[in-house]
Amino acid sequence: MPMGFEHLATVVRLVGWLATAVFALGTASCPKEMALNVDEKFSVNLVRPAATWPRLNRLSPGEIEAYQNYGKPDYFRILYPPHGEISTSREAGPAIRAKRLKDLPRSWIYETKKIEIQFPSAAKFVEMPLSDQMKVLCLRGDPQDRDFQTKNGRIHESWTYYDVGEKYFFLDGHLAEKQVFQGIGRPFSRM
């Protein structure tokens, strides 16, 4: 009889170890959560960190130092290939649908401090003043209409927000003028 209890205890231990191994393998094979709150109606260029962010063991040394110095950013700026410039939802859509945002480079935006933190390497970060375009993106999200052209080697760009009735004109990335007109209200679809 005692052999039966010993055998039963061994089986229970074996089942316990097997269940633990299956759970561990299942957890390891699950894709990492994105830790990003994507709101495509607001912006595909700026996304908020999730409530669970950060997990320090997933940050690079430069990111850990930036986090220790500045805290949690207001936004992550997604730097879409090839140049990291502002993208439309049409351009960014494939990366969002494939849940590849976590694999794209990003900078950290601190709206109230008016700074952007970029990471040129895993061990280093650079603080930059928030550009006029990033300030408008933080305030209004992606423009509903965007037009740009190059004249005499300078980039002229305009962003229109029909819902709130605002049009911003940028010259080489700097705010040159803001026009206000009668907005049509929300909802208005983004680019």
Is-cis flag, bond preceding 94, omega within 30?
no
CB 67 within 8 A of CB 54: yes
Query: Of 168, 172, 135, which is closest to residue 153 (Cα–Cα)?
Result: 172
With a cut of 90, say whether residue 2 has pLDDT above it: no
CB 144 within 8 A of CB 162: yes
Q: What is the per-residue pLDDT across 160-191, written as a single tens digit (0 to 9) for each?
A: 999 999 999 999 999 999 999 999 987 655 55
pTM of this structure: 0.75
CB 116 within 8 A of CB 84: no
Q: What is the per-residue pLDDT across 71-123, written as a single tens digit (0 to 9) for each?
A: 999 999 998 876 778 888 778 877 777 777 778 889 999 999 999 999 999 99
Place of tokens 């970060």: 125
Cα three-residue angle 12-16-19, rounded to 5 degrees? 135
